Homo-oligomer: A and B are copies of this chain.
Amino acid sequence: MTGHEKEKKVESFFNPYIKRINVKLAKPSLEDQKDDLSRLIEDLDLDKDTKIPAGLLRTLPDFLERFDYGISCTLRKNEIIDFHEHNAKSRLYGMAVDIGTTTIAAYLFDLQSGKNLDVYSSLNPQRAFGSDVISRINHTITQKDGLTELQGLLVKELNHIIEIFCKKNSINSSDLYEIVVVGNPVIMHLLLGIPCKNIANAPYIPSFTSKMEIKAAELGLNINPEAYLVTLPLISGYIGADTVAAVLACGMAEDDEISLLLDIGTNGEIVLGNREELLSCSTAAGPAFEGVGISFGIGGVDGAIDHVDLKKTPIYTTIGGTAPKGICGSGIVDTVAELLKYKIIDNTGMFSEEYGKKHFILDKKSNIYVTQQDIRQIQLAKAAISAGIKVLVKHMQISLDKIKNVYLAGGFGNYINIESAAIIGLIPPELKKRVKLIGNGAGTGAIMCLLSEDMMKKACLIKDSIRYLELSNLAAFSKKFINGMYF
């Protein structure tokens, strides 16, 4: 989307549940003795059950007096959360945050204009306790204060981002009124300090899956004292708020046509369906597509080999065009596809007898190559994803050609060569023409919820309508997984 298209799209649903209303109240008299709060509520035509925190009500009489009954009232749904003088110049800001296992992406918005003011990304400080969620769960089990510690790290990092946003954009942290957060189930539990130990072992039970709304101050976040942090709902122990947000972002839950959503990261989350039915599963694809566990694997940074074409010279390109430092997810997918195309590996993934070597050199100078073991990692990962897709398709009793859209979400999806993904069998080849890259669908969905009460409601409806298939006890999955190892 162009910037202009993006703005037009935001306009179409912009309807935030945080609003500021200016009002000049009639002054009380012996003929009009309404109490201050009722005066405000009636004049603003608010719901009679409008709530107000006691701490804020304590400031109301002075506000009315000081500003001669001209007041600016900040509302969040049916709760009054702040007062300012009439026509106060300060604005309302909100943040959408996608907390990944590895990276955090934060977006700052003006809640009155819907304008995106800033973006910031950083690394999840919990990395120090393991690169995957299981090692973090283990930390909460084995260390007495492990859960509090991991929660504290996220809160500290969010406060750090808040500080940067405020400084860079010259805004006051008390003008930040909402944080909408998405992430996988374990991250959501850790952020709220809620035990997640049962997600680690069968039957993989999360403590909660519903949308949570908590006063940000209660979590120790330095924004407006009456502001909330909202976590979008989860589906199961392995399908999180990030997937719900991505489903919202791609619009598949409102479509008559059937779509397939693939969010490929450390796990591969797959959602299949349309407005009538949504099925999901999570496959332990492993982090190979993120470059992890690959001999020369690195993330999508400058110098990462991101595309490979054996007919070209050099046979690769790198991100940023700099000298190669390693190979990222899209690069390894391309490599395997090319090796298959030129029969350097066979359909079992073995280097062929004709080829006669046990590795494939991508760049001699920097000595970057792909090993048999690397190819096995890719096989495992793509077998998991493709088996997951097949199980969902079978469960829905449809044929592949009924799938009209394939949405690829996640950073990996932005760089991948779809042709290569189809060749290695990560994406069903017959669907390759229907692939659409949606970028960080999780972040986009979080932003949509921040900017629109309707979208927030839709996210909750999506949560209710997605059925989760547990693959670990499905014989059909195991079989499809083994078969899926073939190229």
Contact = CB atoms under 8 A, between A and B. Distances in A.
A352 to B, nearest CB: 41
A57 interface: yes
Interface in A211-229: 212, 214, 218
Given A468-B33, A470-B30, A58 B203 contact: no
A195 B61 contact: yes
Given A54-B214, A207-B61, A33 B236 contact: yes
Contact of A212 (B54, B207, B473): B54
Interface string A3-43: 00000000000000000000000001111111111100000
Nearest to A204: B33
A202 interface: yes
A193 interface: yes
A192 interface: yes
A62 B195 contact: yes
Nearest to A39: B205
Contact of A30 (B32, B38, B203): B203
Contact of A37 (B60, B193, B210): B210
Contact of A203 (B28, B38, B57): B28
A122 interface: no
Interface residues of A, number: 42
B38 A472 contact: no
A87 interface: no
Interface string A43-65: 00000000000100110111000
A70 interface: no
Interface of A: 28-38, 54, 57-58, 60-62, 192-195, 197-198, 202-210, 212, 214, 218, 234, 236-237, 468, 470, 472-473
Given A35-B206, A38-B209, A54-B218, 16 more contacts: A30-B202, A31-B473, A35-B205, A35-B209, A35-B237, A36-B205, A36-B207, A36-B208, A37-B209, A37-B210, A38-B210, A54-B194, A57-B208, A58-B194, A58-B195, A61-B198
